[in-house]
Structure 1
Amino acid sequence: METIRARLKFGNKVEDVKLRKRKSQLYNKEDASPLNSGVLGGNVALFCVAFRLVNCFLVQTSFVPDEYWQSLEVSHHMVFNYGYLTWEWKEGIRGFSYPLLFAFIYKILHFINYDSVYLLIWLPRIIQALLAAFADVKFYLLIQTLENPDVAKWTFFCHLCSWFSWFCCTRTMTNTMETTLTTLALFYFPLPGSKTHSSKKYLSLVALAVIIRPTALIVWLPLLIYHFWQEDNKLRLITRRCVPIGALTVMISTLIDCLFYDKWTLVQFNFLKFNVLHGVAEFYGSHPWHWYFTQGFAVVIGPHLPFFLHGCTLASKRYRILLVALVWTIMVYSLLAHKEFRFIYPVLPFCMVFCGISLANLKTWRRAAAYGLLVTNLFPALYTGLIHQRGTLDVMSRLQTLCDISSVPGRPQPDVLFLMPCHSTPFYSHIHCPIRMRFLECPPDLGEEGYVEEAARFFDEPLNWLRISFPYKSSLPTHLVLFDVLEKEISAFLEGNKFVRTAEIFHTHFPEGRVGGSIFIYERH
């Protein structure tokens, strides 16, 4: 009898194993999707690195001036002792901690005599891409600890196919680093059910994000309050984590800034004083208070919007704090007059959590929704990365050839004047030789009576400004760079001084105001 019972039990176990195996096969068959093509079954980290490197090289357009003028241009000036520092660096409202990262790379290239302009442009982008890949992996691992594998995969899919993340995550701007650090910090944040919680690590990453971009505190304030409220030993959290980490980070960043400014400078205070108290940011444009709610957020989240809204109705209470942080961030930025898409980029990973939950729960329509999401994100990602606003980078590649001319004896030294809205193009970081270059400057009014920026004076009366600025032929530049919309207005000056168009470079299909569809290079003969 005992033998018969043992055989029956063994037979039942075999049947259970077979049944589980059959169910697993059925599940895998039903869940055929873009995610289950073997990519995530392998090495997620290796895939993320490859994906972001491809991402990096397929983004060849410009977005905002800050990705050059507040990072690479500053790094180039730090290492090679020539370049242009904007008014923010003269007033001490920008910190050197972020440009120092690229300056370190530049210094190594200079030391080994490999400081080619190509490496100076692309190595910082590659570093940013690798950091983005690291954040991608941490984001996936976080969702894995919080949800079942199905939800984790779909959340990761939503995260990777976001057109705005593709457009921004490899760019050398502080918003990109702020988003990367926010994603990494979220991995260690004490969300309910998280097994990766580390107060020391997440607070250190938050502190670093605030040092690089003080507005990072807006995103993290509700999350920090939530952690404090949930913490059992509140005194220990404050005295042994928040205060030491915050004090050490501020001290190190202040020492770095004082070293490069060569004077005592508290950048975070200056940043708040100029942008919030004095409202200098409004100088660069303003939008109505509802802009983020009616336009900004919809553009940033893109085709993910319906999945995000659906996911909000399905998500468990543990994610409520992420939704609070998202709404809080948009509300605070809505109170500021100057608004940009990139300002709310750091909350985009929060949105992907809800999008993933939505896709995982669609069941029948999941595959069709996933392919639809992929296709609708693919077009804006490739268009904005490869076509829209690429002329301002292509023109610098063309001008870089002037470096060879400048070293030829007897040839006139190049003298380039950019007759464009200020900071339209990168500068010496994309030329890497000290040829003479000038542009129309536009620092804000810092209290000077009767102040009118140079760019505004030029565009009010272009022809008159040129005649006053260059009364003699000997003072004329050798090259002019301008958008096509300006050509007709200054045609008399161009013809009278024998300027000949030598290049026409495509910029955008959507010209607007002073920004044209093409960029012209004129050379004086």
Structure 2
Amino acid sequence: MENIRSRLTFGNKAEDVKLRKRKSQLYAKDDPCPLNCGALGFRLALFVVAFRLINCFLVQSSFVPDEYWQSLEISHHMVFNYGYLTWEWKEGIRGYSYPLLFAFVYKVLYYINYDSVHLLKWLPRILQTLLAAFADVKFFFLVGSLENTDTAKWTFICHLSSWFTWYCCTRTLTNSMETTLTTLALCYFPLPGSRSQSSWKYLTLVALSVLVRPTALIVWFPLLIYHFWQEENKLKFIIHRCALIGTLAILISTTIDCVFYGKWTFVQFNFIKLNIFHGVADFYGSHPWHWYFTQGFPAVIGPHLPLFLHGCTVAFRRYKMMAYTITWTLIVYSLLPHKEFRFIYPVLPFCMIFCGISLASLKSWRRTVTAILVVSNLLPALYTGLIHQRGTLDVMGHLQSLCDVSGSNNLQPNVLFLMPCHSTPYYSHLHCPISMRFLECPPNLGDDYVDESAIFYEDPLQWLRASFPYKSSLPTHLVIFDVLEKDISAFLQGNNFVRTTEIFHTHFPEGRVGRSIFIYERH
């Protein structure tokens, strides 16, 4: 390289042009940002923020109950002192650190008298969106430092076009925050070739992800072992970094939990004890051991799967640690009976690196493949975001009108949800203390165990007659899925309930979840 510099200085003009071109080629792979990094970063940030905000507002469906019941409902209760806390918060297996983030937003809105229901619903999601956008930008430059700008570009296209990332990254799910923090931590992890390595930063981000969701340790365990193995001063790494950051994180989180629980509570221990040793997670369903390999992972990675498999063959030697981490995560989660798509979401950015390398290596075919990739991901992204399972959110918009007027015959509104438990959000999407009730379904944690939901669905008509023997005790509004209507029609007719609203929910009704949601009002 020094020889090139000297010849550029003393050679003739024609040679200078050739050598400058050669120099540019030599530096291309080493330089993750051949354009001005500040200008590129600014333009990229503007584009990604705009893209993710569009992403945010085009996701108007529900995914899983935890999106509200482990975040927004808790935040609403923390700030406005009314709402409903699920059994997890009564047993102390959930931490307040994550809901505290949104509670801060709610508190600011409350102080400036702008706590409208629309802002309470959307500002937490916008905050999650901005954090996801920041992680996206950092991810681009990470791949640029590991490979080159061209590969980073194709990897970024793969990342932004992922239907599952579109579906999840702007939601107020602990899994979404876990994935965002994991992506940021990976940007500072000591990967060979990375230019932003910082043990303090990545370990702090890992600690935060574990506080948000203790299972984040599953993803990071092999990476931490790898770093420990590569570290020259292993004792210093363990004591001065891992132990120090871990202890501080636990102290801060435990202090927050003790303040809001009002007693000594070690959430991480309670979480592991109930979910692993007592098998509480099994209560919410189980799948065969191979589910992640045969259904879960193929669905999450979607149309990117062929690129991922090809990328593994192309870049396995360079990124075998990432491949091992993906495999390890799938295997560990496969050993747990209760399985969900969102649990493996944090490894999706790892997969996108292999997809991007594969796409970059296709040369003349990559534009065609990209077009196919974008279209094949766009359809499920828009369908799941705008159409599938949107009814349980839309119904809360209809019920919100009850906050402004009293029920029929001057009765105060009293809403009963006869649906699988936690089907809808709750007070965070109404923001008024009207009386509401739903069928409860806590796991078996004691001798006085009652699964109200299971008892109801065994004989819905009998449960309703026993629960409401007098007309004065009847609710003013019933919210049900259409599949239940026939079973309780005698109760509806006998008590003058009239269907006032029908709301589309899904094209794929299953079991107790119907195609539409009905709102009945008593006259």
Q: TM-score range by the shorter chain?
A: over 0.9
In structure 1, the partner of 2:467 is 469
In structure 2, the partner of 1:185 is 185
In structure 2, the partner of 1:218 is 218
In structure 1, the partner of 2:511 is 513
Counterparts of 1:482-497 in structure 2, within 5 Å, are 482-497=480-495
Question: C-alpha distance in 2, partners of 1:441/1:242?
Answer: 41
Given the superposition, is the C-alpha separation of residues 17 and 227 from structure 1 closer, same or farther in structure 2, using an over 3 Å criterion?
A: closer
Given the superposition, is the C-alpha separation of residues 62 and 506 from structure 1 closer, same or farther in structure 2, using an over 3 Å criterion?
A: same
Given the superposition, is the C-alpha separation of residues 81 and 12 from structure 1 closer, same or farther in structure 2, using an over 3 Å criterion?
A: same
Offset of 1:96 from its aligned partner?
A: 0.1
In structure 2, the partner of 1:171 is 171
Secondary structure (helix, strand or coil) at the match of 1:400 reads helix
Asked whether the equivalents of residues 405 and 411 of structure 1 are also in contact (C-alpha less than 8 Å), the reply is no
Give 5+ residue unaligned stretches, structure 2: 1-8, 29-38
Secondary structure (helix, strand or coil) at the match of 2:447 reads coil
1:12 matched to 2:15: yes
Secondary structure (helix, strand or coil) at the match of 1:422 reads coil
Counterparts of 1:56-455 in structure 2, within 5 Å, are 56-315=56-315, 317-406=317-406, 411-448=410-447, 451-455=449-453
Secondary structure (helix, strand or coil) at the match of 1:286 reads coil
Secondary structure (helix, strand or coil) at the match of 2:423 reads coil
Secondary structure (helix, strand or coil) at the match of 1:522 reads strand
Count the aligned residue pairs. Answer: 503
Question: C-alpha distance in 1, partners of 2:329/2:376?
Answer: 26
Offset of 1:447 from its aligned partner?
A: 2.8
Given the superposition, is the C-alpha separation of residues 96 and 15 from structure 1 closer, same or farther in structure 2, using an over 3 Å criterion?
A: closer
Offset of 1:15 from its aligned partner?
A: 6.1
Question: C-alpha distance in 1, partners of 2:22/2:450?
Answer: 79
> Residue type matched to 1:360 in 2?
A
Task: Write the deviation string for residues 223-263 of structure 1: whole angstroms up to 9, x where unpaired.
Answer: 00000000011111112111110000000000000000000
Q: RMSD across aligned C-alpha pairs, in angstroms?
A: 1.9
> Residue type matched to 1:45 in 2?
A
Question: C-alpha distance in 2, partners of 1:121/1:187?
Answer: 31
Give 5+ residue unaligned stretches, structure 1: 1-5, 28-38
Task: Write the deviation string for residues 438-460 of structure 1: whole angstroms up to 9, x where unpaired.
Answer: 000000011326x4400001011
Offset of 1:317 from its aligned partner?
A: 2.6
Given the superposition, is the C-alpha separation of residues 12 and 52 from structure 1 closer, same or farther in structure 2, using an over 3 Å criterion?
A: same
> Residue type matched to 1:437 in 2?
M
> Residue type matched to 1:448 in 2?
D
Question: C-alpha distance in 2, partners of 1:231/1:19?
Answer: 36
Offset of 1:411 from its aligned partner?
A: 2.1
Question: C-alpha distance in 1, partners of 2:17/2:425?
Answer: 68
Asked whether the equivalents of residues 316 and 323 of structure 2 are also in contact (C-alpha less than 8 Å), the reply is no
Question: C-alpha distance in 1, partners of 2:21/2:355?
Answer: 35
> Residue type matched to 2:12 in 1?
K
Question: C-alpha distance in 2, partners of 1:56/1:348?
Answer: 19
Task: Write the deviation string for residues 101-135 of structure 1: whole angstroms up to 9, x where unpaired.
Answer: 00000000000100000000000000000000000
Length-normalised TM-score, structure 1: 0.93
In structure 1, the partner of 2:33 is none
Asked whether the equivalents of residues 408 and 522 of structure 2 are also in contact (C-alpha less than 8 Å), the reply is no
In structure 2, the partner of 1:504 is 502
With 168-177 and 408-417 compared, the bigger mean Cα shift is at 408-417
With 338-347 and 357-366 compared, the bigger mean Cα shift is at 357-366
Question: C-alpha distance in 1, partners of 2:267/2:103?
Answer: 19
Given the superposition, is the C-alpha separation of residues 41 and 267 from structure 1 closer, same or farther in structure 2, using an over 3 Å criterion?
A: closer
Offset of 1:20 from its aligned partner?
A: 9.7
Question: C-alpha distance in 1, partners of 2:229/2:11?
Answer: 55
> Residue type matched to 1:74 in 2?
I
> Residue type matched to 1:501 in 2?
R
Asked whether the equivalents of residues 503 and 518 of structure 2 are also in contact (C-alpha less than 8 Å), the reply is yes
Given the superposition, is the C-alpha separation of residues 519 and 231 from structure 1 closer, same or farther in structure 2, using an over 3 Å criterion?
A: same
Question: C-alpha distance in 1, partners of 2:283/2:251?
Answer: 31
Given the superposition, is the C-alpha separation of residues 79 and 19 from structure 1 closer, same or farther in structure 2, using an over 3 Å criterion?
A: closer
Secondary structure (helix, strand or coil) at the match of 1:418 reads strand
Secondary structure (helix, strand or coil) at the match of 2:312 reads helix
> Residue type matched to 1:66 in 2?
D
Given the superposition, is the C-alpha separation of residues 445 and 10 from structure 1 closer, same or farther in structure 2, using an over 3 Å criterion?
A: same
Offset of 1:322 from its aligned partner?
A: 0.7
> Residue type matched to 1:107 in 2?
K
> Residue type matched to 2:479 in 1?
V
Question: C-alpha distance in 1, partners of 2:119/2:369?
Answer: 40
Asked whether the equivalents of residues 191 and 318 of structure 1 are also in contact (C-alpha less than 8 Å), the reply is no
Offset of 1:517 from its aligned partner?
A: 0.3
Offset of 1:11 from its aligned partner?
A: 3.4
Offset of 1:12 from its aligned partner?
A: 3.5
Asked whether the equivalents of residues 418 and 480 of structure 2 are also in contact (C-alpha less than 8 Å), the reply is yes
Secondary structure (helix, strand or coil) at the match of 2:479 reads strand
Given the superposition, is the C-alpha separation of residues 440 and 18 from structure 1 closer, same or farther in structure 2, using an over 3 Å criterion?
A: closer
Given the superposition, is the C-alpha separation of residues 498 and 223 from structure 1 closer, same or farther in structure 2, using an over 3 Å criterion?
A: same
Task: Write the deviation string for residues 504-523 of structure 1: whole angstroms up to 9, x where unpaired.
Answer: 00000000000000000000
Asked whether the equivalents of residues 71 and 173 of structure 1 are also in contact (C-alpha less than 8 Å), the reply is yes
